[in-house]
């Protein structure tokens, strides 16, 4: 089945220690998104890639970076995680960015910062 895969499902890191979360997709979609979701809140868009074009949200901290080496993979790098970065990180994809394209979400990676 075509799907969005996130690894690992759970990640524990130490305060200030860089961490990378990964996402892959078999849908061959052009657009990949990264969201942060804190407990009892809605997902918050961090950034997205349209093909190789990176689009950062204005309020996304510089601590968060992303890479998309090819169509299938996208990575979220947190350079110096703080306690406030503990959250569920969701990857999503859409076929295009016309404004009416469905976004398909992966299962998420729950990040714990000690």
Q: Which backbone phi and psi does 2 adopt, to 5 degrees?
A: -65, 140
Does 104 bind another protein (CB under 8 A)? Our answer is: yes
Total interface residues for another protein by CB under 8 A: 25
Question: Across-strand partners of 44?
Answer: 36
Q: How far is the CB of 75 from another protein (least distance, A)?
A: 17
- Residues 13 to 72 in contact with another protein, rule: CB under 8 A: 31, 40-43, 45, 55
To the nearest 5 percent, what fractions of the chain are helix, strand and coil? 5, 50, 45
In the complex, the residues that contact another protein under the rule CB under 8 A are: 4, 6, 31, 40-43, 45, 55, 90, 94, 96-108, 110
């Amino acid at each position: 089945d075509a799907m969005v895969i996130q690894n690992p499902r759970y990640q524990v890191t130490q305060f200030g220690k860089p961490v990378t979360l990964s996402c892959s997709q078999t849908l061959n979609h052009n657009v990949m998104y990264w969201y942060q979701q804190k407990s009892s809140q809605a997902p918050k868009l961090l950034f997205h890639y349209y093909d190789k074009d990176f689009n950062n949200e204005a309020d996304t901290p510089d601590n968060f970076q992303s890479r998309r080496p090819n169509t299938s993979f996208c990575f979220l790098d947190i350079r110096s995680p703080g306690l406030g970065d503990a959250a569920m990180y969701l990857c999503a994809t859409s076929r295009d960015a016309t404004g009416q394209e469905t976004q398909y979400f992966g299962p998420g990676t729950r990040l714990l910062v000690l």
